[in-house]
Structure 1
């Protein structure tokens, strides 16, 4: 393991972390859910991970929450929507799943999901079960699902070759994501001999609706 994980927090990062701490109950919505959430996810790590590693993860999570807060509010401002805090049964698992994500494509989906959870006209599309599914995604799984969701009718010449052509990724990578998405019940392959031709499943359509821009 490299030493970068144990570097001291630089002044800019420390200031940002201090800023989010000062925000208190205003970081997400009215903050009722965040208080309970912070005590666990943003709190101490297990006792065998202490010292600077503990501090580093805590600060990183605080900065992550601040970034999510800024981004989802900006999206709602673009829609001229005043945020309405969702149920803590949705908000807390959503934040818990999203806070440690570093991949930009997946962070974008979490931000969309968070914005839609705060949007009164879209909140019903955000289900706890979809949060649990998205948490299991690899970054390329998200790319594949969105690509197939944009296609009207059957991809040509088939789903596998279509995704390969659009993304320039290998057949193995495409097929592994197909297998993942079938396991998550976002895609289906009714014919067991046609794993290269999966179809969008109801859960996949619901997830895409929940993260729409």
Structure 2
């Protein structure tokens, strides 16, 4: 590519960036106008309230994350991390953890973070764990906790009876009959379907290929993920 072509390509790139910036500014102004309509104030005031609230919420969640991580480190007898996290994993983990507005889920982020910086935890931080935790609801996390509280060696092949979730789960039996087991509620079914999508569990299938929600099976990925989000002692 000669110099003129390079200049032309650079100019095009600059124009595209400029167009994107203008669109972002326009979108921000429109949203500011939207807010101002509901607070009976000028556009600038609307945008200011929105931005200040977002900054405050983000700061508040960051502070809580730091406090929880420090508390968990103390619980396992550490006053500081004993290893560091690669930047390519640290950035998405800390960003997602500081945006989480549910305390139960943020505690899982804090535990994952502390396990990752504790060389004695036996946990190797994976990008998949971050992506999975980002996509969990509090209900789904609670279901995983129940399912993986049972011995993996027994549930791996016998399955887990889930009709009484989220209250309880039990180890399946070889002689379990489908008609004798109950279905979980619709919200639990939907949560189990998402956990299957994430690779945390496997939903059993009918002979025709339909989903059966009365029993599920744990997975190696699911077990490893739950262990990574469970605080490990030194």
Give me the TM-score of the superposition, normalised by structure 2.
0.64
1:1-213 matched pairs, under 5 angstroms: 47=25, 48=28, 50-81=47-78, 82-83=80-81, 84-122=83-121, 124-152=123-151, 153-154=154-155, 159-166=161-168, 171-192=185-206, 193=210, 194-213=212-231
Tell me by how many angstroms 1:157 deviates.
Answer: 10
Maintained 8 Å contact 2:201/2:217: yes
Q: 1:157 to 1:188 in 2, by over 3 A?
A: closer
Higher mean Cα deviation, 126-135 or 151-160?
A: 151-160
User: In the aligned structure 2, how far is the partner of 1:70 from the partner of 1:195?
Assistant: 39
Tell me by how many angstroms 1:122 deviates.
Answer: 2.9
User: In the aligned structure 1, how far is the partner of 2:226 from the partner of 2:160?
Assistant: 21
User: In the aligned structure 1, how far is the partner of 2:159 from the partner of 2:218?
Assistant: 16
Question: SS where residue 195 of structure 2 aligns?
Answer: helix
Give me the TM-score of the superposition, normalised by structure 1.
0.69
Q: Which has the higher strand share?
A: 2
Maintained 8 Å contact 1:125/1:206: no
How many residues of Structure 1 are paired with residues of Structure 2 in the alignment? Answer: 166
The residue that corresponds to 1:7 in the other structure is none
Tell me by how many angstroms 1:171 deviates.
Answer: 1.0
Higher mean Cα deviation, 72-81 or 179-188?
A: 72-81
Question: SS where residue 119 of structure 1 aligns?
Answer: coil
Maintained 8 Å contact 2:162/2:214: yes
Is there any run of 5+ residues in structure 2 with no aligned partner, and where? Answer: 1-23, 32-46, 170-183
4+ residue runs of structure 1 moved beyond 4 angstroms? Answer: 154-158
Maintained 8 Å contact 1:164/1:171: no
Maintained 8 Å contact 2:202/2:219: yes
Is there any run of 5+ residues in structure 1 with no aligned partner, and where? Answer: 1-45
- Taking only aligned residues, the RMSD between alpha carbons, in angstroms, comes to 2.5
